[in-house]
């Protein structure tokens, strides 16, 4: 229940664990054998005090020692095996869900649901895997055996049984108190951690701005505040968990000594044998050990439980995309039908009721003032942002009839801010396709006019660059990004301000690239603020305040929307119209 309404829960996590049911059954069987073998110490001491010492029989002592050491060996082997099986259960869960979690991490920003640095789902999966591979699950598997130990304590003597039962009740109360006391601090720490990591990621992305404008110190103060809040919350959660853990440990030790004294009292009064003194003390300690271990691991359990809930919610809110029927490669048309678009996570429409159509071999230039909805429109054209209303169709098929993997090879995108990845130039151009051929990579670079530029790099196409294209200039990154957009001859190529960082040579190469897409039967859509970017298109769409103001052949639209160039020394007659004076010349 959240905000008064029931939210659907995903069964993916439960199903993933259910695949390991055989392994869990094996762990349960091993836990049973281990707990039976835990009785070795108690019965060994009982036999030594009640049988060996009174009889002074060395052979009996040797026989008991050999038997005890063999049983201890089996116990150690089973505990090692149980720990390894639990570790592999965690690894199996990670293997099953890691791809799904990565998909959510990548898709969340497109849905407006990403928080902090966006990596919380991965950390949640790590927390669950770490808990499964730790000592916490072993304690929970041992807990059901506590009644067996308590029953044996009662068989030793009812008073000892009552003492052990009372200790179990106290430890159970401590466990419940630990859960209630640590839940809120753990949630608070998670929230502060998200803010801290988000600020750190923002600082990393904008390191140049922080350094150049002297903002690093002030930004550090903000991050330090968030980090201090996180550390305080973490410290509080650790203090609470540690305090309860220490209390449970001290209580168990005190109870063990108390049972030892109680056994001695019973022996003095002739109500128990001497072996009961040590055996009952060891047995009570063993009976309460799982509860103590569970309390000691409670912080990890709480974190794993919160991670489980968050991942279940995420899986429910972002289900795996369906696998529609495979469609043939688009070759004919792009059609936009009454398209309205809202940024992810908001309901405010930034594109409203836009419609147009393009055929193979056409090029469209989208113009308009800033914040007119141009970039939002092209994000919807390639399926990055979902349509609030309307459809985008390729050869009559709506974009949601394709999976991203199936649609991707037919699209080429050059965003405003070109993001390259750590790797070689060739890998970036080939979109990290492991089956990419050298010929296809070079063809894409040549189509973008970047081949000669790449050859001038220290190792040509094998030149390695850092994250974000570190090592290349802005213009070089843009041309490599253009080559990536053209790789594989995609049908629809969308370029968002592609000449922002290009020199005259680069702009000429851009025009030839646009014309090349059209000549081979593709469709090219270009967002332009500089007139030279429209030289290779034949159609123009004018956007203003999220609506299409004009659409048609380039010459006709530009005559309608462009104002005459002002005479030198005079002010523009209509400052509200876009400043595309030079477009008349390029048209």
What DSSP state is assigned to residue 422? S
Are 459 and 580 in a shared domain? Answer: yes
Cα-based distances in Å from 297 to 88, 178, 220, 290: 19, 10, 34, 10
**Using DSSP, how many helices (H) and how many strands (E) does the chain show?**
22, 12
Residue 484 lies in a domain: yes
Residue 225 lies in a domain: yes
Residue 582: the pLDDT is 39
Instruction: Give the integer Cα–Cα distance in Å for 554 and 568.
Output: 27
What DSSP state is assigned to residue 51? I
What CATH number does the domain containing 533 carry? Answer: 3.40.50.300
Strands 539-544 vs 397-398: parallel, antiparallel or unpaired: unpaired
Contacts of the segment 177-184: beta carbons below 8 A, 24+ positions apart: 177/244, 178/240, 178/241, 178/244, 178/245, 178/295, 178/298, 179/298, 179/302, 181/240, 181/244, 182/237, 182/240, 182/241, 182/244, 182/298, 182/299, 182/302, 183/302
Residue 322 lies in a domain: no
From the CB of residue 470, how many other CB atoms can be counted at a distance below 10 Å?
10
Are 67 and 174 in a shared domain? Answer: yes
Are 295 and 339 in a shared domain? Answer: no
Strands 411-414 vs 492-496: parallel, antiparallel or unpaired: parallel
What CATH number does the domain containing 83 carry? Answer: 1.20.1560.10
| Backbone φ, ψ for residue 495 (5° rounding) | -120, 120
Residue 2 lies in a domain: no
What DSSP state is assigned to residue 2? B
Instruction: Give the integer Cα–Cα distance in Å for 294 and 298.
Output: 6
Mean pLDDT, consecutive 10-residue segments, the chain of 587 residues?
A: 46 84 90 87 81 85 91 91 90 87 79 65 87 82 83 83 83 78 80 80 71 75 85 83 79 79 81 75 78 75 84 83 80 92 85 92 90 88 87 90 86 87 91 90 92 91 84 86 92 87 79 91 88 84 89 86 51 41 41
Residue 201 lies in a domain: yes
Residue 487: the pLDDT is 93
Helix 146-156 vs helix 274-296: crossing angle, to nearest 10:
160
What region does 202 belong to: left with phi over 0, alpha with psi -120 to 50, or beta? alpha
Instruction: Give the integer Cα–Cα distance in Å for 179 and 184.
Output: 9
Are 160 and 254 in a shared domain? Answer: yes
Are 298 and 353 in a shared domain? Answer: no
Say if residues 457 and 477 touch (Cβ distance below 8 Å): no
Residue 273: the pLDDT is 74
Are 211 and 289 in a shared domain? Answer: yes
Domain count, the chain: 2
Burial class (CB in 10 A: 0-12, 13-18, 19+), 400: middle
Residue 208: the pLDDT is 63
Are 200 and 106 in a shared domain? Answer: yes
* 390 sits in which H/E element: strand 387-394
How far is the first Cα of the chain from the last one, in angstroms, to the nearest whole number? 60
Say if residues 524 and 448 touch (Cβ distance below 8 Å): no
Residue 55 lies in a domain: yes
Residue 583: the pLDDT is 44
| Domain enclosing residue 542, as ranges | 333-586
Residue 51: the pLDDT is 82
Contacts of residue 428, defined as CB under 8 A and 6 or more positions apart, other chains included, come to 420, 421, 465, 469, 480, 484
Q: Is the pTM of this model over 0.75?
A: no
Say if residues 224 and 195 touch (Cβ distance below 8 Å): no
Are 276 and 156 in a shared domain? Answer: yes
Of 284, 317, 350, which marks where a domain is finished? 317
Residue 500 lies in a domain: yes
Instruction: Give the integer Cα–Cα distance in Å for 173 and 177.
Output: 6
Are 306 and 342 in a shared domain? Answer: no
Are 307 and 338 in a shared domain? Answer: no
Are 483 and 557 in a shared domain? Answer: yes
Instruction: Give the integer Cα–Cα distance in Å for 557 and 62.
Output: 103
Residue 522: the pLDDT is 93
Strands 333-341 vs 351-359: parallel, antiparallel or unpaired: antiparallel
Instruction: Give the integer Cα–Cα distance in Å for 109 and 222.
Output: 23
Residue 171: the pLDDT is 77
Residue 98: the pLDDT is 86
Nearest 5°: the CA angle 439, 496, 534 is 90
Taken in order 50, 53, 59, 62, is the CA torsion positive or negative? positive
Residue 231: the pLDDT is 87
Instruction: Give the integer Cα–Cα distance in Å for 540 and 528.
Output: 10
Q: Which of 395, 354, 338 is nearest to 523 (CA)?
A: 395
Of 287, 317, 347, which marks where a domain is finished? 317
Q: Which of 348, 336, 242 is nearest to 295 (CA)?
A: 242
Are 354 and 465 in a shared domain? Answer: yes
Q: What share of the chain is helix, strand, coil (3-state, %, to 5)?
A: 65, 10, 25
Of 262, 292, 317, which marks where a domain is finished? 317
Residue 28 lies in a domain: yes
Q: Which of 511, 555, 515 is nearest to 530 (CA)?
A: 511
């Amino acid at each position: 229940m959240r905000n008064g309404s029931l939210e659907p829960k995903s069964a993916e996590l439960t199903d993933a664990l259910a695949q390991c049911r055989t392994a869990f059954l094996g762990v349960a069987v091993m836990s049973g054998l281990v707990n039976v073998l835990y009785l070795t110490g108690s019965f060994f001491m009982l036999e030594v005090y009640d049988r060996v010492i009174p009889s002074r029989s060395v052979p009996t002592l040797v026989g008991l020692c050999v038997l005890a050491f063999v049983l201890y060996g089996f116990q150690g082997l089973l505990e090692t095996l149980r720990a390894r099986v639990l570790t592999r259960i965690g690894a199996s869960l990670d293997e099953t869900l890691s791809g799904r979690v990565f998909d959510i991490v990548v898709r969340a920003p497109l849905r407006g649901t990403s928080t902090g640095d966006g990596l919380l789902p991965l950390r949640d999966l790590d927390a669950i895997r770490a808990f499964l591979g730790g000592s916490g699950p072993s304690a929970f598997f041992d807990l059901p055996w506590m009644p067996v130990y308590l029953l044996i304590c009662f068989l030793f003597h009812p008073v000892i049984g009552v003492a052990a039962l009372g200790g179990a009740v106290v430890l159970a109360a401590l466990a419940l108190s630990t859960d209630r006391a640590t839940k809120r601090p753990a949630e608070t720490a998670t929230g502060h951690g998200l803010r801290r990591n988000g600020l750190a990621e923002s600082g990393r992305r904008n390191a140049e701005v922080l350094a150049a404008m002297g903002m690093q110190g002030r930004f550090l103060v903000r991050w330090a505040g968030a980090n201090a809040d996180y550390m305080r919350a973490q410290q509080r959660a650790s203090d609470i968990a540690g305090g309860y853990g220490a209390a449970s440990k001290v209580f168990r030790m005190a109870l063990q000594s108390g049972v030892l004294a109680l056994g001695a009292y019973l022996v003095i009064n002739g109500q128990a044998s001497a072996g009961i003194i040590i055996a009952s003390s060891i047995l009570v300690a063993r009976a309460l050990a799982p509860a103590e271990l569970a309390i000691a691991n409670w912080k990890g359990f709480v974190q794993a439980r919160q991670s489980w809930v968050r991942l279940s919610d995420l899986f429910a809110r972002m289900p795996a995309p369906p696998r529609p029927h495979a469609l043939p490669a688009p070759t004919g048309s792009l059609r936009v039908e009454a398209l309205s678009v809202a940024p992810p996570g908001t309901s405010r429409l930034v594109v409203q009721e836009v419609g147009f159509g393009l055929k193979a071999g056409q090029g469209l230039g989208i113009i308009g003032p800033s914040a007119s909805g141009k970039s939002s429109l092209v994000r919807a054209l390639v399926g990055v942002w979902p349509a609030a209303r309307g459809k985008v169709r390729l050869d009559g098929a709506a974009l949601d009839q394709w999976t991203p993997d199936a649609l991707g090879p037919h699209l080429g995108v050059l965003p405003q801010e070109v993001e390259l990845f750590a790797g070689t130039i060739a890998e970036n151009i080939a979109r990290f396709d492991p089956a990419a051929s050298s010929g296809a990579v070079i063809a894409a670079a040549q189509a973008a006019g970047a081949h000669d530029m790449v050859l001038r790099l220290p190792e040509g196409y094998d030149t390695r660059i850092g994250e974000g294209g570190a090592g290349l200039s802005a213009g070089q990154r843009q041309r490599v990004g253009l080559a990536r957009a053209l790789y594989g001859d995609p049908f629809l190529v969308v370029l968002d301000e592609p000449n922002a960082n290009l020199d005259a040579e680069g702009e000429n190469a851009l025009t030839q690239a646009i014309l090349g897409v059209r000549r081979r039967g593709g469709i090219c859509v270009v967002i332009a603020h500089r007139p030279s970017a429209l030289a290779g298109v034949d159609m123009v769409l004018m956007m203003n305040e999220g609506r299409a103001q004009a659409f048609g052949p380039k010459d006709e639209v530009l005559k309608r929307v462009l104002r005459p160039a002002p005479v030198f020394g005079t002010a523009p007659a209509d400052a509200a119209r876009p400043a595309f004076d030079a477009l008349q010349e390029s048209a």
